[in-house]
Amino acid sequence: MNLKKAAAFVLGAGMVFAAASVPAMAEESKALNICIITSTGVDDGSFNQDCYNGILTFLETHEDCKVTDIKESDYAQLVPTVEKSVGDFDVFVLPGFNFAAIGDIVLNNPDKYFLVVDSTIQDSEGNPVTADNVYTMTFKEQESGFFAGLAAALSTTSNKVAVVNGMAFPSNVNYEFGFMAGVNYANAKYGTAAEIVELPSYAGTDLFGNNVGGNYVGDFGDEATGKVVGEALIDNGCDVLFVAAGASGNGVFTAAKEASGVYVIGCDVDQYDDGANGDSNIILTSGLKIMHSNVAKQLEAIYDGTFAGEDALLGADTDSTGFVSEEGRQQLSEDALAKMTECYELLKAGEIVPPSGTEYAVDDFPGLN
Protein backbone atom coordinates (compact mmCIF):
# COMPACT_ATOMS: atom_id res chain seq x y z
CA MET A 1 0.00 0.00 0.00
CA ASN A 2 1.47 3.39 -0.97
CA LEU A 3 0.76 6.41 1.21
CA LYS A 4 0.20 9.49 -0.94
CA LYS A 5 0.41 11.72 2.13
CA ALA A 6 2.20 11.08 5.40
CA ALA A 7 -0.41 13.05 7.29
CA ALA A 8 -3.44 15.23 6.59
CA PHE A 9 -3.91 18.53 8.36
CA VAL A 10 -7.35 20.15 8.40
CA LEU A 11 -6.90 23.80 9.29
CA GLY A 12 -9.47 25.83 11.19
CA ALA A 13 -11.44 22.86 12.45
CA GLY A 14 -9.08 21.84 15.20
CA MET A 15 -8.68 18.40 13.65
CA VAL A 16 -5.21 17.03 13.03
CA PHE A 17 -4.51 13.58 11.69
CA ALA A 18 -1.18 12.86 13.29
CA ALA A 19 1.70 11.45 11.35
CA ALA A 20 2.14 9.02 14.25
CA SER A 21 -0.42 6.78 12.59
CA VAL A 22 1.90 6.13 9.66
CA PRO A 23 4.19 3.47 11.19
CA ALA A 24 1.25 1.21 12.02
CA MET A 25 -0.04 1.53 8.46
CA ALA A 26 3.39 0.88 7.01
CA GLU A 27 3.74 -2.24 9.15
CA GLU A 28 0.37 -3.49 7.92
CA SER A 29 1.46 -2.95 4.32
CA LYS A 30 4.16 -5.67 4.61
CA ALA A 31 1.57 -8.33 3.74
CA LEU A 32 2.12 -9.35 0.13
CA ASN A 33 -0.58 -10.28 -2.33
CA ILE A 34 1.34 -12.46 -4.78
CA CYS A 35 0.31 -13.55 -8.27
CA ILE A 36 1.91 -16.25 -10.41
CA ILE A 37 0.90 -16.43 -14.07
CA THR A 38 1.69 -19.50 -16.19
CA SER A 39 0.76 -20.94 -19.55
CA THR A 40 0.39 -24.56 -18.44
CA GLY A 41 -0.53 -24.28 -14.76
CA VAL A 42 1.37 -24.60 -11.50
CA ASP A 43 0.93 -28.37 -11.41
CA ASP A 44 3.05 -29.28 -14.46
CA GLY A 45 5.41 -31.32 -12.29
CA SER A 46 8.37 -29.33 -13.54
CA PHE A 47 9.25 -25.70 -14.31
CA ASN A 48 6.10 -23.84 -13.25
CA GLN A 49 5.53 -26.03 -10.22
CA ASP A 50 9.02 -25.43 -8.89
CA CYS A 51 8.49 -21.67 -9.09
CA TYR A 52 5.13 -22.07 -7.35
CA ASN A 53 6.75 -24.21 -4.65
CA GLY A 54 9.08 -21.30 -3.94
CA ILE A 55 6.04 -19.15 -3.21
CA LEU A 56 4.53 -21.84 -1.00
CA THR A 57 7.80 -22.10 0.93
CA PHE A 58 7.70 -18.36 1.55
CA LEU A 59 4.05 -18.51 2.65
CA GLU A 60 4.83 -21.18 5.26
CA THR A 61 6.45 -18.51 7.43
CA HIS A 62 4.39 -15.53 6.28
CA GLU A 63 0.76 -16.27 7.03
CA ASP A 64 -0.20 -12.66 6.37
CA CYS A 65 0.67 -13.08 2.68
CA LYS A 66 -1.28 -14.94 -0.01
CA VAL A 67 -0.96 -16.18 -3.58
CA THR A 68 -3.25 -16.37 -6.59
CA ASP A 69 -2.32 -18.47 -9.61
CA ILE A 70 -3.59 -17.55 -13.07
CA LYS A 71 -3.37 -19.91 -16.03
CA GLU A 72 -3.40 -18.35 -19.49
CA SER A 73 -2.80 -20.92 -22.22
CA ASP A 74 -2.64 -18.35 -25.03
CA TYR A 75 1.00 -17.26 -25.12
CA ALA A 76 0.04 -14.00 -26.83
CA GLN A 77 -2.14 -13.08 -23.84
CA LEU A 78 0.42 -13.62 -21.10
CA VAL A 79 1.80 -10.07 -21.07
CA PRO A 80 -1.69 -8.50 -21.44
CA THR A 81 -2.77 -10.63 -18.47
CA VAL A 82 -0.01 -9.08 -16.38
CA GLU A 83 -1.09 -5.61 -17.50
CA LYS A 84 -4.76 -6.06 -16.65
CA SER A 85 -3.91 -7.65 -13.29
CA VAL A 86 -1.21 -5.25 -12.17
CA GLY A 87 -3.55 -3.20 -9.99
CA ASP A 88 -4.71 -6.23 -8.02
CA PHE A 89 -1.42 -7.61 -6.69
CA ASP A 90 1.81 -6.52 -5.04
CA VAL A 91 4.19 -9.07 -6.52
CA PHE A 92 4.19 -11.00 -9.79
CA VAL A 93 6.11 -14.25 -10.27
CA LEU A 94 6.38 -14.82 -14.01
CA PRO A 95 7.95 -18.10 -15.18
CA GLY A 96 8.98 -18.31 -18.81
CA PHE A 97 10.50 -16.45 -21.74
CA ASN A 98 7.06 -15.28 -22.89
CA PHE A 99 7.16 -12.57 -20.21
CA ALA A 100 10.20 -10.86 -21.73
CA ALA A 101 8.09 -7.97 -23.05
CA ILE A 102 6.83 -6.66 -19.70
CA GLY A 103 9.33 -3.79 -19.58
CA ASP A 104 6.76 -1.04 -20.03
CA ILE A 105 4.55 -2.52 -17.31
CA VAL A 106 7.50 -2.66 -14.92
CA LEU A 107 8.48 0.94 -15.58
CA ASN A 108 4.91 2.21 -15.33
CA ASN A 109 4.32 0.48 -11.99
CA PRO A 110 7.32 1.25 -9.77
CA ASP A 111 5.32 0.32 -6.66
CA LYS A 112 4.87 -3.27 -7.84
CA TYR A 113 7.48 -6.05 -7.80
CA PHE A 114 8.24 -8.49 -10.59
CA LEU A 115 10.20 -11.75 -10.41
CA VAL A 116 10.84 -13.05 -13.93
CA VAL A 117 12.20 -16.57 -14.32
CA ASP A 118 14.13 -17.63 -17.44
CA SER A 119 14.33 -14.25 -19.14
CA THR A 120 15.56 -10.70 -18.93
CA ILE A 121 13.03 -8.09 -20.02
CA GLN A 122 12.59 -5.35 -22.60
CA ASP A 123 10.22 -2.50 -23.42
CA SER A 124 7.82 -2.22 -26.36
CA GLU A 125 10.64 -0.97 -28.57
CA GLY A 126 12.90 -3.88 -27.76
CA ASN A 127 15.22 -1.98 -25.44
CA PRO A 128 16.61 -3.87 -22.42
CA VAL A 129 15.00 -2.82 -19.15
CA THR A 130 16.51 -2.92 -15.69
CA ALA A 131 14.69 -1.36 -12.75
CA ASP A 132 14.69 -1.35 -8.97
CA ASN A 133 11.40 -3.28 -8.86
CA VAL A 134 12.30 -6.25 -11.08
CA TYR A 135 14.56 -9.24 -10.44
CA THR A 136 15.17 -11.50 -13.41
CA MET A 137 16.74 -14.89 -12.92
CA THR A 138 18.23 -16.77 -15.82
CA PHE A 139 20.12 -20.00 -15.33
CA LYS A 140 23.06 -21.85 -16.81
CA GLU A 141 20.80 -24.65 -18.05
CA GLN A 142 23.72 -25.94 -20.10
CA GLU A 143 25.25 -27.12 -16.83
CA SER A 144 22.25 -29.27 -15.90
CA GLY A 145 21.99 -30.40 -19.51
CA PHE A 146 25.66 -31.40 -19.37
CA PHE A 147 25.00 -33.72 -16.43
CA ALA A 148 22.01 -35.19 -18.26
CA GLY A 149 24.25 -35.90 -21.25
CA LEU A 150 26.83 -37.55 -19.02
CA ALA A 151 24.15 -39.70 -17.38
CA ALA A 152 22.72 -40.73 -20.74
CA ALA A 153 26.08 -41.67 -22.28
CA LEU A 154 27.23 -43.52 -19.16
CA SER A 155 23.97 -45.48 -18.89
CA THR A 156 22.80 -46.32 -22.41
CA THR A 157 22.97 -49.91 -23.59
CA SER A 158 21.79 -49.21 -27.15
CA ASN A 159 24.32 -46.36 -27.57
CA LYS A 160 21.53 -44.11 -28.81
CA VAL A 161 20.29 -41.20 -26.72
CA ALA A 162 18.29 -38.02 -27.32
CA VAL A 163 16.98 -34.80 -25.80
CA VAL A 164 13.35 -33.70 -26.23
CA ASN A 165 12.58 -30.01 -25.79
CA GLY A 166 9.45 -27.87 -25.74
CA MET A 167 10.22 -24.73 -27.73
CA ALA A 168 13.57 -23.33 -28.86
CA PHE A 169 13.71 -20.53 -26.31
CA PRO A 170 17.19 -19.72 -24.95
CA SER A 171 16.74 -21.88 -21.85
CA ASN A 172 15.80 -24.91 -23.92
CA VAL A 173 18.61 -24.41 -26.40
CA ASN A 174 20.97 -24.24 -23.42
CA TYR A 175 19.63 -27.57 -22.19
CA GLU A 176 20.04 -29.09 -25.65
CA PHE A 177 23.61 -27.88 -26.17
CA GLY A 178 24.59 -28.85 -22.65
CA PHE A 179 23.20 -32.34 -23.17
CA MET A 180 25.10 -32.81 -26.42
CA ALA A 181 28.28 -31.54 -24.77
CA GLY A 182 27.85 -33.99 -21.90
CA VAL A 183 27.51 -36.90 -24.30
CA ASN A 184 30.59 -35.76 -26.21
CA TYR A 185 32.54 -35.38 -22.97
CA ALA A 186 31.68 -38.90 -21.83
CA ASN A 187 32.61 -40.31 -25.23
CA ALA A 188 35.95 -38.48 -25.19
CA LYS A 189 36.93 -38.92 -21.54
CA TYR A 190 35.23 -42.10 -20.39
CA GLY A 191 35.24 -44.25 -23.51
CA THR A 192 31.49 -44.34 -24.11
CA ALA A 193 30.13 -44.54 -27.65
CA ALA A 194 26.76 -42.82 -27.41
CA GLU A 195 25.13 -41.38 -30.53
CA ILE A 196 22.80 -38.39 -30.27
CA VAL A 197 19.64 -39.00 -32.29
CA GLU A 198 17.82 -36.07 -33.88
CA LEU A 199 14.62 -36.17 -35.92
CA PRO A 200 14.87 -33.62 -38.76
CA SER A 201 11.10 -33.12 -38.82
CA TYR A 202 11.24 -31.89 -35.21
CA ALA A 203 14.34 -29.70 -35.46
CA GLY A 204 14.08 -26.46 -33.53
CA THR A 205 14.40 -22.89 -34.80
CA ASP A 206 15.67 -20.41 -32.22
CA LEU A 207 14.63 -16.78 -31.76
CA PHE A 208 17.19 -15.67 -34.34
CA GLY A 209 15.91 -18.03 -37.01
CA ASN A 210 18.74 -20.52 -36.64
CA ASN A 211 18.11 -24.22 -37.02
CA VAL A 212 19.39 -25.69 -33.74
CA GLY A 213 18.47 -29.29 -34.51
CA GLY A 214 17.38 -31.41 -31.59
CA ASN A 215 13.86 -32.71 -31.08
CA TYR A 216 11.35 -29.95 -30.34
CA VAL A 217 7.68 -30.59 -29.62
CA GLY A 218 6.85 -26.99 -30.54
CA ASP A 219 4.87 -26.33 -27.37
CA PHE A 220 5.12 -26.77 -23.61
CA GLY A 221 1.59 -28.09 -23.18
CA ASP A 222 1.15 -30.64 -26.00
CA GLU A 223 1.33 -34.09 -24.43
CA ALA A 224 0.02 -35.80 -27.57
CA THR A 225 2.87 -34.54 -29.75
CA GLY A 226 5.29 -35.19 -26.91
CA LYS A 227 4.31 -38.83 -27.02
CA VAL A 228 4.67 -38.95 -30.80
CA VAL A 229 8.21 -37.56 -30.58
CA GLY A 230 9.08 -39.95 -27.74
CA GLU A 231 7.78 -42.94 -29.65
CA ALA A 232 9.70 -41.94 -32.77
CA LEU A 233 12.96 -41.68 -30.85
CA ILE A 234 12.37 -45.02 -29.14
CA ASP A 235 11.63 -46.57 -32.53
CA ASN A 236 15.01 -45.21 -33.64
CA GLY A 237 16.70 -47.17 -30.88
CA CYS A 238 17.03 -44.58 -28.10
CA ASP A 239 16.96 -46.04 -24.62
CA VAL A 240 17.70 -42.83 -22.66
CA LEU A 241 15.76 -39.59 -23.25
CA PHE A 242 16.41 -36.27 -21.54
CA VAL A 243 13.09 -34.41 -21.45
CA ALA A 244 13.01 -30.61 -21.12
CA ALA A 245 9.53 -29.93 -22.45
CA GLY A 246 7.30 -28.84 -19.58
CA ALA A 247 3.88 -30.52 -19.64
CA SER A 248 4.61 -31.80 -23.17
CA GLY A 249 7.16 -34.04 -21.51
CA ASN A 250 4.36 -36.03 -19.90
CA GLY A 251 3.71 -37.50 -23.32
CA VAL A 252 7.35 -38.59 -23.60
CA PHE A 253 7.07 -40.17 -20.16
CA THR A 254 4.03 -42.14 -21.35
CA ALA A 255 5.90 -43.35 -24.43
CA ALA A 256 8.78 -44.54 -22.24
CA LYS A 257 6.44 -46.30 -19.82
CA GLU A 258 4.76 -48.14 -22.67
CA ALA A 259 8.12 -49.26 -24.06
CA SER A 260 10.60 -51.63 -22.50
CA GLY A 261 14.06 -50.80 -21.18
CA VAL A 262 13.76 -47.07 -21.80
CA TYR A 263 14.84 -44.50 -19.22
CA VAL A 264 14.00 -40.81 -18.97
CA ILE A 265 16.07 -38.05 -17.40
CA GLY A 266 13.82 -35.51 -15.71
CA CYS A 267 14.27 -31.76 -15.93
CA ASP A 268 14.18 -28.70 -13.66
CA VAL A 269 13.05 -30.67 -10.59
CA ASP A 270 13.36 -34.16 -9.16
CA GLN A 271 10.80 -36.03 -11.27
CA TYR A 272 11.35 -39.48 -9.77
CA ASP A 273 7.78 -39.74 -8.53
CA ASP A 274 6.48 -39.02 -12.03
CA GLY A 275 8.47 -41.97 -13.32
CA ALA A 276 6.57 -44.61 -11.34
CA ASN A 277 5.53 -47.41 -13.68
CA GLY A 278 3.98 -50.27 -11.75
CA ASP A 279 6.70 -51.75 -9.59
CA SER A 280 9.46 -50.04 -11.58
CA ASN A 281 10.50 -46.49 -12.40
CA ILE A 282 11.64 -44.95 -15.69
CA ILE A 283 13.58 -42.02 -14.18
CA LEU A 284 17.34 -42.40 -14.42
CA THR A 285 18.04 -39.08 -12.70
CA SER A 286 16.91 -35.48 -13.12
CA GLY A 287 18.79 -32.39 -14.27
CA LEU A 288 18.07 -29.64 -11.75
CA LYS A 289 17.43 -25.94 -12.06
CA ILE A 290 16.86 -24.67 -8.53
CA MET A 291 14.15 -22.04 -8.92
CA HIS A 292 12.09 -22.51 -5.77
CA SER A 293 14.79 -21.37 -3.34
CA ASN A 294 15.64 -18.36 -5.47
CA VAL A 295 11.98 -17.33 -5.76
CA ALA A 296 11.51 -17.70 -1.98
CA LYS A 297 14.68 -15.70 -1.32
CA GLN A 298 13.49 -12.76 -3.40
CA LEU A 299 10.02 -12.77 -1.85
CA GLU A 300 11.67 -12.64 1.56
CA ALA A 301 13.74 -9.67 0.40
CA ILE A 302 10.63 -7.84 -0.77
CA TYR A 303 8.92 -8.58 2.54
CA ASP A 304 11.77 -7.39 4.74
CA GLY A 305 12.66 -4.37 2.61
CA THR A 306 16.06 -5.52 1.35
CA PHE A 307 14.99 -6.25 -2.24
CA ALA A 308 17.31 -5.02 -4.99
CA GLY A 309 16.55 -5.19 -8.68
CA GLU A 310 19.01 -7.30 -10.66
CA ASP A 311 19.51 -9.42 -13.77
CA ALA A 312 20.97 -12.54 -12.13
CA LEU A 313 22.62 -15.43 -13.97
CA LEU A 314 22.59 -18.46 -11.69
CA GLY A 315 24.54 -21.70 -11.90
CA ALA A 316 26.28 -24.40 -9.92
CA ASP A 317 28.40 -21.80 -8.15
CA THR A 318 25.23 -20.64 -6.33
CA ASP A 319 23.81 -24.17 -5.98
CA SER A 320 21.25 -23.35 -8.67
CA THR A 321 22.01 -26.12 -11.19
CA GLY A 322 22.97 -29.77 -10.86
CA PHE A 323 21.49 -33.26 -10.87
CA VAL A 324 19.75 -35.66 -8.50
CA SER A 325 22.27 -37.88 -6.73
CA GLU A 326 20.23 -38.84 -3.67
CA GLU A 327 19.91 -42.58 -3.09
CA GLY A 328 16.43 -43.80 -3.88
CA ARG A 329 15.70 -40.86 -6.18
CA GLN A 330 17.89 -41.96 -9.11
CA GLN A 331 19.07 -45.18 -10.76
CA LEU A 332 22.59 -44.31 -11.85
CA SER A 333 25.30 -46.92 -11.53
CA GLU A 334 27.96 -46.30 -8.90
CA ASP A 335 30.48 -45.70 -11.68
CA ALA A 336 28.26 -43.17 -13.46
CA LEU A 337 27.48 -41.36 -10.22
CA ALA A 338 31.18 -41.16 -9.34
CA LYS A 339 32.12 -39.77 -12.75
CA MET A 340 29.29 -37.21 -12.67
CA THR A 341 30.26 -36.10 -9.17
CA GLU A 342 33.84 -35.68 -10.35
CA CYS A 343 32.64 -33.55 -13.27
CA TYR A 344 30.45 -31.46 -10.98
CA GLU A 345 33.48 -30.39 -8.98
CA LEU A 346 35.42 -29.62 -12.17
CA LEU A 347 32.52 -27.55 -13.44
CA LYS A 348 32.19 -25.58 -10.21
CA ALA A 349 35.93 -24.91 -10.36
CA GLY A 350 35.58 -23.57 -13.90
CA GLU A 351 37.66 -26.32 -15.46
CA ILE A 352 34.65 -27.54 -17.46
CA VAL A 353 32.50 -24.87 -19.12
CA PRO A 354 29.57 -26.43 -20.97
CA PRO A 355 28.44 -24.49 -24.05
CA SER A 356 25.23 -22.48 -24.11
CA GLY A 357 23.38 -21.48 -27.25
CA THR A 358 25.60 -18.42 -27.59
CA GLU A 359 29.13 -19.48 -26.63
CA TYR A 360 31.43 -22.35 -27.47
CA ALA A 361 30.40 -25.44 -29.43
CA VAL A 362 29.20 -28.83 -28.27
CA ASP A 363 32.40 -30.40 -29.54
CA ASP A 364 34.79 -27.61 -28.58
CA PHE A 365 34.48 -26.17 -25.08
CA PRO A 366 36.79 -25.71 -22.06
CA GLY A 367 37.41 -29.03 -20.41
CA LEU A 368 36.78 -31.19 -23.46
CA ASN A 369 39.94 -30.45 -25.45
Same domain, 296 and 283: no
CATH of the domain at 341: 3.40.50.2300
Same domain, 202 and 101: no
Domain that includes residue 108, residue range: 31-139+292-314
Taking only the tens place, the pLDDT of each residue in 166-205 is 999 999 999 999 999 999 999 999 999 999 999 999 999 9
Same domain, 97 and 166: no
Is residue 308 included in any domain, yes or no? yes
Same domain, 214 and 342: yes
| Ramachandran area for residue 75 (φ above 0: left; ψ -120 to 50: alpha; else beta) | alpha
Same domain, 83 and 126: yes
pTM: 0.85
Same domain, 187 and 239: yes
Is residue 163 included in any domain, yes or no? yes
Same domain, 130 and 64: yes
Same domain, 285 and 298: no
Is residue 254 included in any domain, yes or no? yes
Report the number of distinct structural domains present in the chain. 2
pLDDT (tens, 9 = 90+) of the chain, 369 residues, equals: 443 333 333 333 333 333 333 333 334 458 999 999 999 999 988 899 999 999 999 999 999 999 999 999 999 999 999 999 999 999 999 999 999 999 999 999 999 999 999 999 999 999 999 999 999 999 999 999 999 999 999 999 999 999 999 999 999 999 999 999 999 999 999 999 999 999 999 999 998 999 999 999 999 999 999 999 999 999 999 999 999 999 999 999 999 999 999 999 999 999 999 999 999 999 999 999 999 999 999 999 999 999 999 999 999 999 999 999 999 999 999 999 999 999 999 999 999 999 997 789 999 999 998
Is residue 72 included in any domain, yes or no? yes
Same domain, 134 and 145: no
Is residue 219 included in any domain, yes or no? yes
Taking only the tens place, the pLDDT of each residue in 307-350 is 999 999 999 999 999 999 999 999 999 999 999 999 999 999 99
Taking only the tens place, the pLDDT of each residue in 92-114 is 999 999 999 999 999 999 999 99
Is residue 364 included in any domain, yes or no? no
Same domain, 73 and 152: no
The pLDDT value recorded for residue 9 is 33
Is residue 363 included in any domain, yes or no? no
